Amino acid sequence: MDLQHLANIAIEAALSAGKIIQKYMKEDIVVETKEGGSNYASEVVTKVDRECESIILSHLNPTCKAFDIGLLSEETKDDGSRFEKDFFWSIDPMDGTLAFINKQPGFSVAIALISKDGTPVIGVVFNPSTQTLYHAIQGKGAFKNLKPWWAKKTNDYLTYTTDKKLEDTPQANKIQGILNKHKANLGLKGITELSGKGAVMCAISVLDNGPACFLKLPKKDKGGGSIWDYAATVCIYNELGLPATAFNGEPIDLNKKNGAFMNDEGVYYSNLNTE
């Protein structure tokens, strides 16, 4: 399978969806709800999400037929093809819908190609707010705007990226303890918080603001992000040689048998070493 060829198609799909998002960025969009997890962010959807999915599928569906690839997309019911095919596309047409609705940066398009064993081999992220493209291909490195890219670790403080403020997060004390430990171990001067982004841009922001981390603790409530929230950025982190794991340090299961939600695993992304 020609991963470069498929990555090029995924990039075109993400850029096409990004143009749709940019068209609506200043408009007041009607917010609908769908069946989701236990939190509001997993239940909101707009016509923009659906238009983005449609344009992405117009690019990717031909590859599914030509290369026998399965499909998992946020706004379409899981058809189980990801368990039958050697590879499947994972699509988040617009991650960070809440940020988009609130007209604040933090939303993006994310597309990944994942092997049946849960290993992402292509990851594509497009940030429409800054018109920045990030992508990675297994064994070929990570790229920013199509140029080789390495994560930054230039700050003398720790950055914690999060979808919602730490003070509003369950088990905030436990997370604060983890952050304090990182700060002390690295001899950093303080901790700053970047909140309000979707999971995809939280992970990308860690790479642009190191030393930094993004994490979600395991929980019983349905939610905690889904396969499509993490697959593309896990691929990018793998190519950068940085941790993007379940909270316990094990590989994230990106082809879960019991649904797409990650609440039982949690996630942990980091860009911490200061050397």
Q: Can you name the residues that pair with 142 across neighbouring β-strands?
A: 136
The whole-angstrom separation of Cα 185 and Cα 30 is 46
- Provide the Cα torsion 93, 97, 101, 102; round to 10°: -130
| CB 186, CB 158: distance < 8 Å | yes
Q: Which residue has the tokens 């942990």?
A: 268
Which amino acids are annotated as binding site for Mg(2+), given as ranges?
A: 74, 92, 95, 229
Which amino acids are annotated as binding site, given as ranges?
A: 74, 92, 95, 229
Distance from CA of residue 203 to its chain's centroid? 7
State the angle between helix axes of 199-208 and 227-240 in degrees (0 to 180), rounded to the nearest 10: 20
Nearest to 266, CA basis, from 223, 236, 203: 223
